[in-house]
Structure formats: C-alpha cells, structure tokens
A = this chain, B = another copy of it.
Amino acid sequence: MPDTPATKDTVTTRTINAIRALTIDATQAAGDGHPGMPLGAAPMGYVLYFDAMRHDPSQPRWPNRDRYVQSAGHGSMLQYALLHLTGYDLPMEELKAYRQWGSLTPGHPEHGHTVGVETTTGPLGQGISTAVGMAMAEAHLAARYNRPGLAVVDHRTYVIASDGDLMEGVSGEASSLAGHLGLGKLIVLYDDNQVSIDGGTDVTFTEDVLKRYEAYGWHVQRVADGNDVEAIRRAVRAAEAETARPSLVAVRTVIGYGAPNLAGTPKVHGSPLGAEEAERAKASLGVDWPAFTVPEDVLAHARTAMERGERDRQAWEGTFARYEREYPQEARELRYVFEGGAPDLSGLELPRFEPGGKVATRKASEAALNAVARAMPSLLGGSADLAGSNFTDIAGERPMVPGDLSGRIVRFGVREHAMGAVANGLALHGLAPFVATFLVFSDYLKPALRLAALMRQGVVYVFTHDSIGLGGDGPTHQPVEHLMSLRAVPDLVVLRPADANETAQAWRVAAERRDGPTVLALTRQNVPTLDVPDGAVARGGYVLAEASGGEPRLILVGTGSEVALCLQAREALEGEGVPTRVVSLPSFELFAAQDAAYRESVLPRAVRARVTVEAGATLGWERYAGDLGETIGLDRFGASAPGDVVMRELGFTVEAVVTAAKRSLARL
C-alpha cells in the first residue's frame, strides 16, 4: 500500500476504484453475481455516500437520515462496498462471503438482513417506487409534525435506478404520482448505461426517458460522463436545490467500466469477469492492492463519513430534544413512527354490530378502519381510485394534495402496483399504511405485496369485492384463484371475515400485526351479522355453531360470505338428524399458528365427514376437508349476473352443501 498521502482528487478516484475492486473480488470469489452495474455506477455511489447524503454509519437507523435506495438491486456489491467503506457494521469477512449461506451479503440487498439497506430490491421497478413511498412519508411527516424552527423531519431520498427499473410499468405509475404530489426531496440517479441483458437498450428501449419524466412533472438533468465526479456532484446539488419537483438525473455510464474486453457489453451484467479479465480490469483501474483489502488513505478518507454523520445526527438530536419538550404529544407519536414496535391500541374501540342484521363486510370495514385510525395516528392510506367502493376514507381526514401532504388519505389513482410499492415505502418509514382495491386486482400489486411479506412490513390490504358475489361486473372482476394464491405467500396473513363482527376483529389483528402484511378480503354484498366471540378471529378458526348434543357427526367449514350458507345448511342437516358443527375459518395462517390442542378442539381428527365451502379455488382446501371430505368451491371463472344469481348458478346453495355432506357421510 502506498504510504505517500494522496491528493484529494486522487483519493476520490482511488476510493471509487476501491469500490470497483471489491466488486470484482466479491463476484470472482462467489463465481456468481453482477459486476457490471457497480463498475459503471461507482462514481454515483461515491457522490451519494461521501458527499450528498446525511447518514451516520454508527447509527444506521437514525430517524432523520437520508434514505438510499438501490433500485438496481442486482448491483448489490456497490451498496455493500459503500457500506463497508463508510464504516457500517459490514466487515470484510462478509464481503468475502458474498452470496454465501448465512452471509450478510446476499445476491440482492435485503432489508432487515443487512445494516443500511433501507428496502429489499432486485425485482426491477420496485426500489424506485418504494422510494416514492419513502419520500411521501417524509413529506407527510414533515407537513404534519414539523413546527416553526423545529424541522424534526427533514431529509432526502436518493435512488440509483437502471434502464430496467425505468422500463417497468410500476416505476411509471409511481413517478407519475411523485410528480403529481411534487415530492421535491426525491432524487433519482438514472444509471444510463445503454445496455440491457438482451443487448443495447436500442433493441427495445428508445423512448425519450427525460421527456417522459418532464411529462410527469419532474425536474430533469443529464450528466454526459458517469466518471465525472464533479459533474455528478453539481447535478445532485441542482436536484437538491429544486424542492418543488422530484428530480431525475440521467448519468451516462459504461457498464463494466474498467474491464478491457467486457466493458460496455451485456456480458458483464450478470457474470463475474473471470480471473484474467478481473486482473486486467484492476490493472487498468490502477488497483495495485491485494484482493479484499482497502488502501489506508482510502479507508481514512472513507471513514470521514462517520464524523460527518455523527455531527449531523447529534445536531438533529438536539433539535428533537427541544421538540420533545415543546410538543410532547407530537413527539410521542413521532417516536412511535421512528421506532416501530407494538402499537398502543389501548384506546381502540372497535365497532360492534347487532347480530341479526345484514351488513357488507366492506362496510363494516369502513367503521373498523375509522376506529383504528382514531386510535393509531400512524395509520394512513387509501385506494386505487375505488375509495367509494372499498370504503376506505377516514372521516374528518383530508387527502394528501400537492402543496399539503399532511392528510392521512392517499388518492393513489388507478395505479395498484405503485400503490403496493408506495405502501412498502410508507411502512419502511415507520408509518402504518393500508391500501385498497378489488380482490381480483390484487394481481396488479402482487410483486410489491410479496416484498412486503419478505421484508415483514405491516401493510394492510383492503381487498373488497371478494368473490363472484359481486355480481354484474362479471368474470374480469370476480376473483377465483386469489384467496388461495395469497394464502400460499409466506409470512402473509389472509383474513376473510364472515360478517361485520369478524371484520372488526380482523382489523384489530391487522392493526396489531406490525411485523408482516395482512390481507382483508371483504364482500361487496350484505351478509348476516353473527354473534362472534371475542378474540375468535385472532385464532384463525373457531366453532361458530356447535352440533346439537355437542357431538358433531359432520363439520362444515366456511369462510367469508359462505359461512352464512354453512349455517343454513346446518339447519337443514340437523333437521335431517345429522349433528352438524359449523367452523368459521377466517385465516388459514392464524389457525395453523394455534397449538395442536386448540386445532383438534375445532377440527377433531375423528370427525372425518366434512364439507368446506368457499367461493374460490378448491385447491388447498383438502388441508381441512381430509380424505373423506368434500370441497365446494369454484374451479372455473365466474359470470356476469346479479350476485345472488351467480352464487346460486355456480353451486353455492343449501342443497349443494347438504348433498356434499351426504356424500362425505356415506364414505364413513
């Protein structure tokens, strides 16, 4: 290692090349990974972590830190190298174990796994769209909580995005929304390297990206040379100075920069350079230090980030201390946002509904949502242009509008996918978001929902119109496979309440569940209100109606609107002398989480005559029907007609349940 002190410029270049060298070393060691992006984008990463961003490596969750989102998640080594160099708790041993079992350096950055990773990225388009949610959270919290002279929420969100990110529709939706809301503290650096996996971007991506972003209402700039650190700096500063609009800076880079034979080609995107090319690349970059080491001057330079970060953080802590004294209630609310953790729902008074009436569960959800919103200041959200159908407005609250983002209602527009990604950003920022659309359109936001589950974020999805019972809109709007598809997602809780009271309880479960997402599947149509024991929904399944004599010969298991049908069928079966129990099973996941004794008490193994009833795919219901049971469901698409007609025509009748019950009984 050189012992002569380097000039400022030299150390900048050397630091950038140290990032590149670590990328080369880690991908070579793994024999796997994506070196191209970090080699090209290292100067951008440098400018952000070393110059633009306020961040404290020693306190990576300091609330007022700037957020960095690497939307181009495949270039994870860029972020790992930056985190390591600037002093985050990510030792060199972890970089050596890139992409290995148990390491802190997975192939794509994972939030909650690696320090300093603000959101999990990799699926293209998600990072930038989640960043829109983070910037929205910042603007919302600032508008709601800052006080004169006390800007306790005041930071930026920086993104590096790739061609792929900007080709994805979700980023277009989110960027349009960001432009509409004027998220001036969102700054996106576009790694404009003109290369995608299948070749140059000219093979498919020839639109004028900057013009498109101008059309969204963004401030746009171009940097001609991605190695010109000063030009990147200037552009970032200009972007920071523009506070009324989000900023996009297209930076022309060379993918795989430094690799003499591979730079500028698609080959360098997704495979290590190979030993020889790696050697040559290092030589061409002037990297004369051993693999997985960092020259002292570079390290010394890099670690200045810690001092700056500590200073910035301490200044903010002073401000927040003053805020806490002057605005204790607001400070308490903010602390909850900053720290997350279990919400204080002691003040929550859920609505109770009188059994005997009829209420659509989407309507009951509105009342419960409003009760939760009163008890939980961090709750906010809205619908993808279906607020009046999803019943998601909060009484007395205003929507976020350009110029005033303090409202707790978000009008997402017809942008389900961006809504899902934005919700992730809101949740990652400590807020408690809910989002809403029809259940069938959960498909549009599934990639974002999956990330919420993977990151264990407490997003609540209000999915109404949950079956063919919605009627005339027909098969394009009638979910069939969706309930079971969602149940197959790990770490997601799906709740399909049977009535208004189960709905209220379901909202409590969702509100309390801050370590993972929750789906509420709700009816459009009215369903009878039941007498639901306290805490029943939280157990996932329970005995709603016991067999006469308390010894069931048959069990009917239903969810949602089909529970009422099970109750009617029970009457008929009891009338024919069959002691019949009805089990309401609002959540597979919560029921599976109960102890074996409870599950046995609800669904005794010995009672093998069973019928499950749900207006959705039967696949998966064998879990509760068992070998001798029957599954009544829907393995075809729906049809357009009034909801009760569709239900009847497609087999959701008392007669059908009774007939199925007899078939099952006959197998005993």
Contacts of A476 in B (CB 8 A): 73, 108, 110, 120-123, 451, 454
Bound: A383/B124 CA distance, A: 15
With A and B bound together, what is the CA distance between A122 and B478 in angstroms?
A: 11
Contact check, A639 vs B207: say whether CB atoms are below 8 A apart. Answer: no
Is the beta-carbon distance between B169 and A173 smaller than 8 angstroms?
Answer: yes
Give Cα distance in the complex from A388 to B199, angstroms.
Answer: 10
Also in contact, A490 and B637, with CB within 8 A (given A106-B474, A169-B168, A619-B623): yes
Contact of A211 among B211, B388, B641 (CB under 8 A): B211
Chain A 378-405 interface residues, beta-carbon cutoff 8 Å to B: 383, 385-389, 399, 401-402
User: Is B217 in contact with A207, judged by CB distance below 8 angstroms?
Assistant: yes
A60, CB-defined interface residue at 8 Å: no
How many chain A residues touch B (Cβ–Cβ < 8 Å)?
115
A209 vs B214: C-alpha distance when bound (angstroms): 11
- Asked if A635 lies at the interface with its beta carbon under 8 angstroms from chain B, I say yes
Q: Give the chain B neighbours of A441 by CB distance below 8 A.
A: 123, 447
> Are B645 and A107 neighbours in the complex by a CB distance under 8 Å?
no
- Asked whether, in the complex, the Cβ of B389 is within 8 Å of the Cβ of A639, the reply is no
Question: Is A377 an interface position by the 8 A CB rule?
Answer: no
Which of A246-254, A316-324, A479-487, A500-508 contacts its partner?
A: A479-487
Q: Are A620 and B172 in contact (CB under 8 A)?
A: no
Write out the residue numbers on chain B whose beta carbons fall within 8 Å of the beta carbon of A411.
Answer: 198-199, 203-204
Whole-angstrom CA separation of A627 from B204 in the bound complex = 52
Verify A385–B197 contact, CB threshold 8 A.
yes
Is A552's beta carbon under 8 Å from chain B? Answer: no
A216 interfacial contact with B, CB 8 Å: yes
Instruction: Note all chain B residues with C-beta closer than 8 A to A199.
Output: 411
Determine whether A134 belongs to the interface, using a CB cutoff of 8 Å to chain B.
Answer: no
A197-219 vs B, CB cutoff 8 Å, 1 = contact: the mask equals 11100011111110110111100
| A165 to B414 alpha-carbon distance, docked (Å) | 8
In the assembled complex, 29 residue pairs joining A and B whose CB atoms fall closer than 8 Å, in A order, are: A32-B471, A32-B642, A33-B472, A74-B473, A99-B640, A100-B641, A100-B642, A106-B475, A107-B474, A110-B474, A120-B476, A123-B477, A163-B414, A164-B414, A168-B173, A168-B414, A168-B416, A169-B415, A197-B387, A198-B385, A198-B388, A203-B413, A206-B402, A211-B215, A215-B215, A481-B485, A488-B619, A620-B620, A620-B622
